[in-house]
Structure 1
Amino acid sequence: MQTPKIIKFARPPKALLRKVGRAIKQFDMIQDGDRVLLGVSGGKDSLSLLHILNHVQIHAPVQFKLGVLTVDPQIEGFDPTPLRDYYSNLGITWYYCQESIAEQAKTKLRGKSFCSYCARIKRGLMYSICRQHGYNVLALAQHLDDLAESLLMSIFHGGQLRTMKAHYVNDAGDIR
């Protein structure tokens, strides 16, 4: 098991760490020996979750390996490479995948809304990288706005009351 580096950064608030700990336990999100790959965009949500999981990895009794992955959809203005050294300083392996997802969507969907298409393609790429590198857990930073958006999209586009789950297993049954 990789020993995480301890570097100085603001410690996540205790109240937040307690809630995260309860959620991990309640939904059985991380188990001893898991290999967790966190999808990071470089935004505040994914970087916050990175620091929380890094703290949990160092201080919790459960032992797990943490890696990070960025899927670069090759859209103008998106460049996650400046964070490479940051992840390295944390002692966390960074995987980087470039895929022209937006161009594929434009070609295949011809002007229709392609947010769900892009999300499916990104998720498939993340599952592939998990498998290639032996990760059995994929972690994504979602917040209440994402949950509300997911519910509204389901209602308006699918006519159903559905939203994302806190924890689920993929169709192949090999990644949680």
Structure 2
Amino acid sequence: MGTLSVNQNKLQKRLRRLAGEAVADFNMIEEGDKVMVCLSGGKDSYTMLDVLMHLQKVAPIKFDIVAVNMDQKQPGFPEHVLPAYLKELGIEYHIVEKDTYSVVKELIPEGKTTCSLCSRLRRGTLYTFADEIGATKMALG
């Protein structure tokens, strides 16, 4: 095993341990919860899903995980990548399609920051979807 693999394994163990401690210390996940894991496609959300899937296997409580990605219709977003990855993992997942990109482009002047409006639109859509699927917790990474 190379140095990189050893370091990756140490980091993975540390992330899993610290996340598990935080979940336990703050009762973030409880028996019977349905956790909606929101995936952007970035490394933070992939890591969060990995950590929660591991925790699901080793935790003394039972909870469900549902992965959700919001397709905001942003040009150039590789929409096939996440579904293929999630199918490979064998996890329940949903792709929520909502064209927030056009709304943001229409309302925010060119050159101005779009993050605030985009974030609000995205979260509103995700909260609504969480209710629709009966999620009791939401994990954003």
TM-score (norm 1): 0.69
Q: Which structure 2 segments of 5+ residues have no match? A: 1-7
Q: Which structure 1 segments of 5+ residues have no match? A: 1-9, 142-176
The number of aligned residues is 132
Task: Report what 2:47 is aligned to.
Answer: 48
In 2, are the aligned partners of 1:38 and 1:138 still within 8 Å (CA)? yes
Q: Name the SS for the 1:61 alignment partner.
A: coil
* 1:9-66 deviations in Å (ceiling 9; x for gaps): x877322222111110222211110000111122111111111111111111111000
CA shift for structure 1 position 126: 0.6
Mapped to 1, the partners of 2:12 and 2:113 lie a distance apart of: 38
Task: Report what 2:79 is aligned to.
Answer: 80
Mapped to 2, the partners of 1:80 and 1:45 lie a distance apart of: 18
User: Where do 1:1-176 residues align within 5 Å?
Assistant: 13-111=12-110, 112-141=112-141
* 1:125-144 deviations in Å (ceiling 9; x for gaps): 11111111110111011xxx
Mapped to 2, the partners of 1:104 and 1:28 lie a distance apart of: 37
- In structure 2, give the amino acid aligned to 1:86: Y
CA shift for structure 1 position 85: 3.0
CA shift for structure 1 position 101: 1.3
Mapped to 2, the partners of 1:118 and 1:29 lie a distance apart of: 26
Root-mean-square deviation (Å) = 1.8
Structure with the higher helix share, 1 or 2: 2
User: What stretches of structure 1 move > 4 A for 4+ residues in a row?
Assistant: none
Q: Determine what percentage of the aligned residue pairs are the same residue.
A: 33
TM-score (norm 2): 0.84
Mapped to 2, the partners of 1:85 and 1:72 lie a distance apart of: 15
* 1:116-166 deviations in Å (ceiling 9; x for gaps): 10001000111111111110111011xxxxxxxxxxxxxxxxxxxxxxxxx
Mapped to 1, the partners of 2:35 and 2:140 lie a distance apart of: 10
Mapped to 1, the partners of 2:101 and 2:41 lie a distance apart of: 19
